[in-house]
Structure 1
Amino acid sequence: MYADATELPGPAALQLEGVSKSYRSGTARVPALREVSLAIPAGTFTAVMGPSGSGKSTLLQCAAGLDTPDSGRVLLGSTDISRLRRRALTAFRRDHVGFVFQSYNLLPQLSVARNVTLPLLLGGRSVDREWLEYILEAVGLSGLDARKPQELSGGQQQRAAIARALITRPDAVFADEPTGALDSATARQVLDLLRHTVTDLGQTVVMVTHDPVAACSADNVIFLADGRLDGALANASVRDVTERVSYLGER
């Protein structure tokens, strides 16, 4: 993981520069992120780990444009999304950001194909059938495009959610505990699929997880403690990640 964009071997897909964010609790302000700076290279898979309250979900939300920092900048590609007005930010997210959630967030009344292409339809963009078929085949859903979500297994629903995240050819895909609702075998398949999107499709993936096994699917694991970056590991083993998590915030 790289803290300085000047050190990157290639262009950065995502940069956070001095990002701070706090939330109100009663009359007090509770800090969630404290001057976080990092840069993530394009075409890499990054996992974000930390204990509850460490700021990892807030980091993901700010990085993906779901929330706005109190201070600092967030750049996706060459766009400073922290400066965009609400309507422009909504349009940018729809066209340039992919999301994968633990709960899938598929619409039960729509087919797989309609769920996957929904970001295009909402943006008034035409559907490239060849690209749709390619994405469905890439995620292992070829031939299932007419099915409804309730006709799919949990793993297949998550595959549909990943296809939806990829359909706009986004600058980055953000995954929030994407394997949290899956059994271990299905979770492994989903992690392999995320890896495939990076290795074979050139996608950039940023994933929040509490699971050391899931984190080890990533190229890099970054750690948060008390809203601050607390180190990183590259090409880490489950043992490396587990040991690192055990003493987060102690140094």
Structure 2
Amino acid sequence: MASVGRRSAVTADQGAAASDCSVEAAAMRLVSVTKTYGSGEASVTALNDVSFTVPRGSFTAVMGPSGSGKSTLLHCLAGLDRPTSGQVFLGDTELSSLKEAALTSVRRERIGYVFQAYNLISSLTVEQNITLVPRLAGKAVDQGWLREVLEHVGMSRYADRRPNQLSGGQQQRVAIARALVTRPDAVLADEPTGALDTRSGQEVLRLFRHIVDGTGQTVLMVTHDPVAASYADSAVFLADGQLAGQLARPTPEQVADRMTHLGNR
């Protein structure tokens, strides 16, 4: 797949802590979010008063050292974890106040999640894996959109194959298609290239870039790789559970330099 041009949706300067984006144009927002695990002297604050906005139709990378709060931030945005204080919004829906049944419905229908380890079911075909979530929810699968998604991820020829007949990069493409098939408000990706070789990883990153530019999909990706972050419109940095800056239109060199300074905090 040919590389495509980058959108210019994010214009924050290098020291910005949050996207300059109206509430109406926001796909996701964190508002003064703190997340603490445990209590008393044994408590650990994973996020500390974090606020930032992800614009609709943008590709955002989240980076930081181990223990910086990246996974907790992703889990709060995905509705997998509730903040100790503050608010999490998906569009105009406040996730942090929803009851469990409503939150489960939002996660299933409005959030696409891509895991590092693909999480495909080996006994199912590519098409069955992609359509598993709506079928489990008793929803009809839009066959036209399914064909379009398969085309977007370059897997139309492989719809009847099983995961063990695919390369790692192809399996991750299937996982991305599964995240897209419900037409989610946002796709969240947790180290999506971590288990891939360099070539396959770049193909997946170009695919995310193509999806954002070609369909207006919102993608937020946690990564440790400066090259991966350079495919995004914006790289947001965390350190010690707090925002530590943001780069618009990042280059690998800029990201690596910022990460080096974060490691010295």
Partner residue, 2:101: 87
Write the deviation string for residues 70-112 of structure 1: whole angstroms up to 9, x where unpaired. Answer: 0000000110011111111111100000000100001111111
Check the 8 A contact 2:17/2:243 in 1, yes or no. no
The one of 231, 239, 242 equivalent to 1:228 is 242
Distance 2:39 2:66 in 1: 17
Residues 5 and 178 of structure 1, relative CA distance in 2, 3 Å threshold = closer
TM-score (structure 2 length as normaliser)? 0.91
Q: Does 1:149 align with 2:163?
A: yes
Partner residue, 2:148: 134
Write the deviation string for residues 17-59 of structure 1: whole angstroms up to 9, x where unpaired. Answer: 0001011289611000001000110000000000000000100
Q: Does 1:71 align with 2:85?
A: yes
Aligned residues: 251
Partner residue, 1:51: 65
Q: Where does 1:15-30 land on structure 2 (aligned, <5 Å)?
A: 15-24=29-38, 28-30=42-44
Partner residue, 2:212: 198
1:200 alignment partner, SS class: helix
1:143 alignment partner, SS class: helix
Q: Does 1:160 align with 2:174?
A: yes
Residues 103 and 7 of structure 1, relative CA distance in 2, 3 Å threshold = closer
- Give the C-alpha shift of residue 128 in structure 1: 1.0
2:262 alignment partner, SS class: coil
Distance 1:153 1:143 in 2: 14
Check the 8 A contact 1:60/1:174 in 2, yes or no. yes
2:158 alignment partner, SS class: coil
The one of 83, 104, 111 equivalent to 1:97 is 111
Check the 8 A contact 2:89/2:95 in 1, yes or no. yes
1:207 alignment partner, SS class: strand
- Give the C-alpha shift of residue 240 in structure 1: 0.5
Structure 1 gaps, min length 5 = none
Identity of aligned residues (%): 56
**Higher mean C-alpha displacement, 112-121 vs 155-164:** 112-121
Partner residue, 1:212: 226
Distance 2:200 2:138 in 1: 34
1:95 alignment partner, SS class: helix
The one of 187, 192, 201 equivalent to 2:201 is 187
Calculate the aligned-residue CA RMSD, in Å. 1.8
